């Protein structure tokens, strides 16, 4: 099962990248308060970084891991996620749409999931993206 969400953020790709990818562990719980992340490997986030995930979805507590498999600054951030028996991949891309305007898009593929799950998950992820937009636009000034 696959789905995609997108939003346009009125900030540069550098600012969006810093918030979304470089500080993913710290910021993800801010746009998804049901999620808790802890970096397991040391050093700055990049390919090979392993992150422990804990969250509640649809009333069920889930624990898993996320391994960063793509870290292409200002362009793409990809992860392989294992939550219990569920395996998925997520890939976020950034596309500059002007000097201080960036489209952030995430494509998610959940192996073996029923396609009807997309109807449940897409609005949750889109709500998170709406929060990302609000947080970045309210906290970051262009050129910082």
pLDDT digits (tens, 9 = 90+) for 54-113: 987 777 788 999 999 999 999 999 999 998 888 999 999 999 998 899 999 999 999 888
* Gap between the Cα atoms of 57 and 81, Å rounded: 15
Q: Could you report the per-residue pLDDT of 12-69, keeping only the tens digit for each?
A: 999 999 999 999 999 999 999 889 999 999 999 999 999 999 987 777 788 999 999 9
What token pair was written down for 19? 């918030």
Class of residue 99 by CB neighbours under 10 A (exposed 0-12, middle 13-18, buried 19+): exposed
DSSP 8-class letter at 114: -
Full DSSP string of 121-144: HHHHHHHHHHHHHHHHHHH--TT-
* Gap between the Cα atoms of 49 and 75, Å rounded: 18
Examine the pLDDT at 144 and tell me if it is beyond 60. Answer: no
Q: Is the pTM of this model over 0.85?
A: yes
Angle between helix axes 117-139 and 24-31 (nearest 10 degrees) is: 110
As a whole-number percent, the residues of the chain with pLDDT over 90 amount to 73
Answer yes or no: CATH 2.30.30.90 is held by domain 2-139.
Answer: no
Q: Which residues contact 48 (CB under 8 A, 6 or more apart)?
A: 41, 67, 68
Give the pLDDT score at 141: 63
């Amino acid at each position: 099962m696959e789905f995609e969400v997108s939003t346009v953020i009125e900030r540069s790709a550098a600012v969006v990248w810093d918030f979304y990818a470089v500080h993913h562990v710290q910021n993800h719980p801010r746009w998804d308060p049901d999620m808790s992340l802890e970096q397991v490997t040391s050093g700055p986030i990049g390919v090979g970084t392993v992150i422990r995930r804990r969250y509640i979805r649809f009333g069920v507590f889930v624990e898993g891991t996320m391994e960063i498999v793509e870290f292409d600054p200002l362009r793409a951030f990809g992860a392989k996620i294992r939550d219990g028996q569920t395996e998925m991949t997520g890939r976020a891309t950034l596309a500059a749409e002007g000097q201080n305007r960036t489209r952030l898009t995430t494509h998610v593929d959940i192996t073996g999931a029923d396609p009807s799950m997309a109807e449940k998950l897409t609005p949750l992820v889109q709500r998170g993206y709406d929060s990302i937009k609000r947080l970045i636009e309210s906290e970051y000034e262009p050129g910082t």
